[in-house]
Amino acid sequence: MIFNFKTLYDGDTCGHFGQYGGRFAPKGIFSFQTSYDGDRNGHFGQYGGRFAPEMLIPALEELENVYIRAKKDREFEREFMSYLTGFAGRPTPLTFAANLTRRLGGAKIYLKNEGLNLSGAHKITHCIGQAMLAKRMGKKRLIAETGAGQHGKAVATVAAKFGFECTVYMGERDIERQRPNVFWMQRLGAKVKPVSFGTKTLKDATNAALKDWITNVHDSHYLLGSTVGPHPFPSINRDFQSVVGMEVEEQVKKIEGKLPNYLIACVGGGSNSMGLFYRFLDKKSVRLVGVEAGGRGVSKKGGHAVRFSGGKKGVVEGYKSVFLQDRYGNLSPTHSVSAGLDYPGIGPQLAHLKNEGRVQFTYATDREVLAAFSLLAKTEGIICALESAHAVAFALKLAPTLSKNKIIVVNLSGAGDKDIFIIAEALKDKEWIEFLKGKSHL
């Protein structure tokens, strides 16, 4: 009688107990490779590498070694996946944008809604991965830089979850633009340190974070938030984020029975775009498009962040890539309505993919972005981040030029809640302004 006793709470034939259990089938996140990967020193064609001061090289080597070991460890992938599903809320849905598709009358548009992740953006994924590596290295504290506050919030989230101390550097200008995320980071227990030098934006926050790391390298891990920086950061963050593309491939095949024709993502440093593109790099039928921040237009110097219009090769913040810089190599000021995209550098692998012609780049201006944001909200019921609205803006142009049997996947890298102040101001929303005035008497 022992072995045929059954209860209502038993597992299924594969050992799943509700959402738990089951036989873990590795997805090969960490064994996947493409013909566009870097060499062992993290060089992607002529870009990448590790141009770090000596003070940081041992820490970068330590990170690289622990990552190489983790990649071979099935348990690491299992744990990573269990945090993604049980904590971050993956997989995120691939939503057919039926109304938008009908309205544009061309290709079918699908939206990968990364905004539904815990903390509101794709950033949580590489934060979980790096927090697991930091644990393996025995670090006590996480340091991070943030632009829009999305990465900072995700770092603060994993710091709380994994039990790390946390310091997030953020440019004073970005703090002004993204106050809600500062507030949430502090509620999550992080120290948010304003950066008052340079252009007071993301690149300066990165500088400040690197200096903190130089000082506290023995007990702190620098949780760099994009596919930029010295080797191995571009490869590590890409691998973690590759679950986005992996999910898209599964989802779109299930719904449509074939691969998409276009993948579109906004590009700041490259974490969401590399995440979406990576699994498709060697699937040449899928066209990949990166959308940079056109700001007030590329003809205006300092008015945009389009690295592939006016940028040139350089070595800054520990890596070689394409940077917006003056003729003496000093980084140029940038502008974008979205704080997450106005970064003068771009991930080295993306620069390489551009050279190889594998990823096409275009840009969307602030005005196009706000229009795309509004249209998406009203037609599809999704309030996306201004960063992600860059990708939407290009999809709006592209879809009508394609036939109805084509498929476009747009990465909505984050949710737009954080942008409430910028959007209200840009749309000149009178009621909101009155509301703020009323609040200011408090």
Partner 1 sequence: MNLIDLQIKKIKRNKQLGLMVHAVVGYPTQEKSEMLIRSLINRKVDFLELQIPFSDPIADGPTIVRASEKALKRGTNTDSVLELIGKLRGDIHIPVIIMAYYNSILSYGLVKFCRKAKKLNISGLIVPDMPPEEEDRERFIQTSFEYGLYPIRVVSPSSSKKRLEINTRYAKGFIYSVSHFGVTGSGVKIGNDLVGYINEVKKTVRLPIAVGFGIEKKEQVEKLNDIADIAVVGSAIIRNYEKGGLNRLKLFIKELKEGTIY
> How far is it, in rounded angstroms, from Cα 273 to Cα 228?
12
Q: Which of 108, 123, 200, 320 is catalytic?
A: 123
Q: How far is the CB of 271 from partner 1 (least distance, A)?
A: 20
Binding string, residues 226-255; x marks residues near partner 1 by CB under 8 A: ------------------------------
Residue with tokens 């090289």: 57
Q: How far is the CB of 158 from partner 1 (least distance, A)?
A: 25
Q: Scanning residues 331 to 350, which ones bind partner 1 (CB under 8 A)?
A: 331
Known catalytic residue: 77?
no
Element (H, E) at 159: helix 150-162
Stretch that binds partner 1, among 201-209, 238-246, 347-355, 387-395 (CB under 8 A): 201-209
Stretch that binds partner 1, among 180-188, 285-293, 306-314, 372-380 (CB under 8 A): 306-314
Q: How far is the CB of 198 from partner 1 (least distance, A)?
A: 7
173 scored as a contact of partner 1 (CB under 8 A): no
Q: Of the two residues 16 and 211, which places its CB atom closer to partner 1 in the complex? A: 211
| Alpha carbon of residue 94 to chain centroid | 17
Would you put residue 103 in left (φ > 0), alpha (ψ -120 to 50) or beta? Answer: alpha
Known catalytic residue: 356?
no
Among 197, 301, 356, 401, binds partner 1 (CB under 8 A): 197
> How far is it, in rounded angstroms, from Cα 175 to Cα 185?
12
* Three-class SS state of 115: helix
Q: Scanning residues 358 to 417, which ones bind partner 1 (CB under 8 A)?
A: none
Q: How far is the CB of 318 from partner 1 (least distance, A)?
A: 7
Assess whether the previous peptide bond of 348 is cis (omega < 30° from 0).
Answer: no
Bridge partners (DSSP) listed for residue 293: 305, 364
CB of 286 within 8 A of CB of 292?
A: no
With CB under 8 A, what is the number of residues at the site for partner 1?
Answer: 40
Which pairs with CB-CB distance under 8 Å and at least 24 residues apart come from 329-335? 331/199, 331/203, 332/301, 332/302, 333/199, 333/302, 334/199, 334/201, 334/293, 334/295, 334/302, 334/304, 334/305, 335/293, 335/295, 335/296, 335/302, 335/303, 335/304, 335/305
Q: Which of 114, 145, 247, 317 is catalytic?
A: 145
Known catalytic residue: 145?
yes
106 scored as a contact of partner 1 (CB under 8 A): no
Contacts with partner 1, residue ranges (CB under 8 A): 41, 43, 49-59, 197-198, 203-204, 207, 210-211, 214-218, 312-318, 323, 325-331
Catalytic residues: 123, 145, 413
